[in-house]
Structure formats: C-alpha cells, structure tokens
Amino acid sequence: MKQVYFDNAATTQVRESVIDSMTEVMKTCYGNASSSHSFGRSSRALIEKSRKTIANFLNVSAGEIIFTSGGTEADNMVLRSAVRDLNVKHIITSKIEHHAVLHTIVHLAKEHDIAISYVNLDENGDIDYSHLETLLQNPNKTLVSLMHVNNEIGNVLDISLAANLCKDYDALFHSDSVQSIGHFKMDLQEIKVDFLAAAAHKFHGPKGVGFAFIRKNSGLKPSIIGGEQERGLRAGTESVHNIVGIAEALKSADNNFDAEHEYVKSLKQYFINTIKKEIPSVTFNGNSGDIVKSTYTLVNVCLPIPPKKAAMLLFQLDLKGIACSKGSACQSGSNQNSHVLTEILNEEDLLKPSIRFSFSIYNTEEEIDYVIDVLQSFIEQ
C-alpha cells in the first residue's frame, strides 16, 4: 500500500543530519553539563554552541534563548511568569490560538483574576488590528499573545505590526511561533516581540525539545525550581543530544532555506491547482488557498461531502495510507469541531469535512496526485 505523509504541521520527519549529530552526542558526549570535569565541560560546550546557533538565526543574544521540552512548555513558561512576575492584569489574545495558549490563559484568569480580551477576526480568520489597538487602550498592565502562523488554517500574522502596536501602548507581546520558526526568517532586532515559543519537531528536528525567546531584562523569574540550568529560569539536567538536534535542524533549515522554501511552496500551489481542477466545488478555509496570504506549508480544504459520509473520510484516507488531519494533532482524536473553524465557518460548512494537508521537503507531486485521486473517488462513491 502506498504511504503518503501529509501531516507535517503535526510533526515532521527528522533529517538525517540531525539524527547523525544526535547519535554522535549520545555515543561520545554523555557527561552532565553541570559537572566541572572534562566530560561535563564537553556537554556544556555543545549546549552553548547550540544556543549561539539559534540566537544567530534570530539575531539575538545567546542569553535570550532558553531551552524547553517544546512549544507548550515555552508558552506556559512565558504566560504564567508574565502574570506572576510582571504584574500583568490583562491578556489580549484571539479565539483561534493553539490550546497551549488558550487553555493556559483561561487557567490564569481563574487563578489570578486577570481580564481576558479576544481580538476580533474577519471572515477568513485574520486579526482586526484596529480592534487590537482599541483593546490595548486598557490602563492595566497588558500582555498580547497572538500566534505567528495559525496551525490549522495557515493565516500569517503581521507580527511586526502587532509588535509595534504593543510597544506604542507599553504592552508586552508574546507570539507562539511554533509553526513559523524554521520556515520563515525572523530578525528579532527588527521585530519587537518580547517572548516567542518554538519546537524542534516542526522543522525536521527531534520531539521533546524547543525553546523560549525571552528578551533580556524581561524580569521573568524561574518557572522550574531546583537548579541553575538555563540561566536559572528552568532547572533540570539538560538533554544535550536533543539540544544539539534542534540547533542542527535550524541550521539545516537556514542553510537550505531558499531552495526548500520554493520547493514546498510549489507543492502547495500544485495541490491548490490540481484539487480545484479535479474537485471544482472544493473551498479553502481561512487564507490557506492563497499562496501569498498564508504559510506555504499547508492547506485546509472543505470538501463537498454529506455529513454521514464525511464521518468515514479520515478512516478511508488512513486505509489508503494517507496521513492528514481534521485540525491540529491535539484534536484529531476528538469528535468536536475545530475551535478554529468554528470561529470562521458558517453552520452549513461546519457540517462538511474539513481536512488539513501539510507539506514538507520529503513530499512529491506524485503523492499529491494520488491523494486527490483518492478524494475524488471517495466523493464519487
């Protein structure tokens, strides 16, 4: 049976160079990085070299990169610490953020009695920047949390505009950038974001490691107590091989950026063109069908299939060896509608199946032809 993996927004295949570098570290550099002997110093050197690699990619100082277990921890670290340590009383976000942000903010509101404001969205899920500016005119200390690239519909935030608005009103700005780091170049000397989250497994690195960018002199205090690791902000013995892996993955993404960006973008455009031709009644959710207004890595399509038949679609795709998702990976096992699509689709379209297909350098046009042929056959059955 043919196997096609079109769920790269959930996680990606690890690059061979990343596997090689991690394997070498596990074999030869197993010292605890907090130890003072040569084994420990070797591990510490690898961690700090990796930190500098990531810092150079973002044009920040190495001390502003804090390694975490992934994007969810990085989001939690920043949001919780901002409320606890920086006197944040008001958080502005949107209703289509990742649950790592939305659920954390709701818990913070219950625990600390902070106010939550949700910025308006247009019919495609784009942020209403005028409304954001209105919400920023709150006298309380405010933090804005808006994701750079939406993981379900691919909409891209004007992150510079959002950051500048926050600075105009003396608000802190956090961006969940899990879907953009490794796929977009970002200069954080130009983009005045205060906090940012990333995860290695979204750009061909290992699972279980990510980082938080925390701008220097932020005032954040430790989130995990028990040691001086990660500038004292996150105690615990560092996972050296994973840290080397995330740095190698980001370095490889940067070194091959132009060619790989164009290749994956061409796959998305081919998918759009082909599915429009073969299934003319298909529609695209959010901006995902617009190669300019959305990320080049995914599309989210609404298919002309009645509800009863739609219930079997993902099962049938899986039987044909096709991996994709009806939303984020966190929601794929749920019977509930995507919270993102619920915000932007009408009731009629919510009854139709919406599927996210996300692409990587390891995909081909032949795979796209196969997937669309399977979709077409299922619709015509």
Mean pLDDT of 3-29: 98
Helix (H, G, I), strand (E, B) or coil at 173: strand
Core vs surface per residue 295-323: b (16+ CB within 10 A) or e? bbbbbbbbbebeeeebeebbeebeebebb
pLDDT band at 318 (very low <50, low <70, confident <90, very high): very high
315 pLDDT higher than 70: yes
The domains found in the chain, sorted by start residue, are 4-12+256-380 (3.90.1150.10), 16-255 (3.40.640.10)
pLDDT recorded at residue 333? 46
Mean pLDDT of 228-247: 95
CA distances from 214 to 81, 92, 196, 315 (A): 11, 19, 7, 42
* 302 among known catalytic residues: no
CB atoms within 10 A of CB 261: 17
pLDDT in tens, 327-371: 544 444 445 689 999 999 999 999 999 999 999 999 999 999 999
Reading the block at residue 254, the tokens are 């940067």
Angle at 113 between CA 198 and CA 176, to 5 degrees: 10
29, 166, 324, 330: which one is catalytic?
A: 330
Mean pLDDT of 192-197: 98
Q: How many residues does the chain have?
A: 381
Mean pLDDT of 1-29: 97
Tell me the backbone φ, ψ of residue 151, rounded to 5 degrees.
-75, -15
Quick one: which H or E segment has residue 326? none
Q: Which residue has the higher pLDDT, 292 or 335?
A: 292
Helix (H, G, I), strand (E, B) or coil at 229: coil
How far is residue 162's CA from residue 165's CA, in Å, rounded to a whole number?
A: 5
How far is residue 235's CA from residue 225's CA, in Å, rounded to a whole number?
A: 6
pLDDT band at 1 (very low <50, low <70, confident <90, very high): confident
How far is residue 332's CA from residue 353's CA, in Å, rounded to a whole number?
A: 13
Q: Write the DSSP symbol of residue 198.
A: E
pLDDT recorded at residue 327? 58
Mean pLDDT of 224-229: 91
Quick one: which H or E segment has residue 301? strand 298-302
